[in-house]
């Protein structure tokens, strides 16, 4: 699947499950690790699990395999690696603390 199509599908799934404050950071010019970061927040650990579960389910339906997942048990910051797109699902408080948007400010940020 093309990276831009994958990115749009991921954002659509997160929007459908009411993820908060979705931001896409294009890091193609500043990192070789991925092309995009998708950062969003959930309102509770239940909501965060729901976002991660639905994303994994929908991507699997599309034939897109998850390379790696971290943080699922604590559900404070779940990282989901889809190759060219890495998804960060935060609890609102943890997102503010880690502030990835500031750390990756050299990339171009799109607000959703």
Q: Based on the structure, what is the number of domains in the chain?
A: 1
Within-domain flag for 111: no
> Which residue segment(s) compose the domain that 55 sits in?
3-105
Q: What is the pTM of this model?
A: 0.93
Q: What is the pLDDT of residues 25-61, one digit of tens each?
A: 999 999 999 999 999 999 999 999 999 999 999 999 9
Residues 6+ apart with CB under 8 A from 46: none
Query: Rounded CA gap, 81 and 92, in Å?
Result: 20
Q: What is the CATH number of the domain that holds 35?
A: 3.30.460.10
Q: Percentage of the chain surpassing pLDDT 90?
A: 85
Per the structure block, which two tokens stand in for 103? 């750390």
């Amino acid at each position: 699947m093309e990276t831009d199509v994958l990115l749009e599908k991921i954002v659509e799934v997160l929007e459908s499950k009411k993820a908060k404050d979705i931001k896409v950071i294009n890091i193609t010019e500043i990192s070789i690790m991925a092309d995009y970061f998708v950062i969003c927040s959930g309102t509770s650990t239940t909501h965060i699990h729901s976002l991660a579960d639905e994303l994994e389910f929908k991507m699997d339906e599309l034939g897109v395999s998850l390379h790696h997942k971290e943080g699922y048990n604590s559900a404070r910051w779940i990282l989901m690696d889809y190759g060219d797109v890495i998804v960060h699902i935060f609890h609102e408080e943890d997102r503010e603390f880690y502030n990835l948007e500031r750390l990756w400010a050299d990339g171009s940020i799109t607000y959703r």
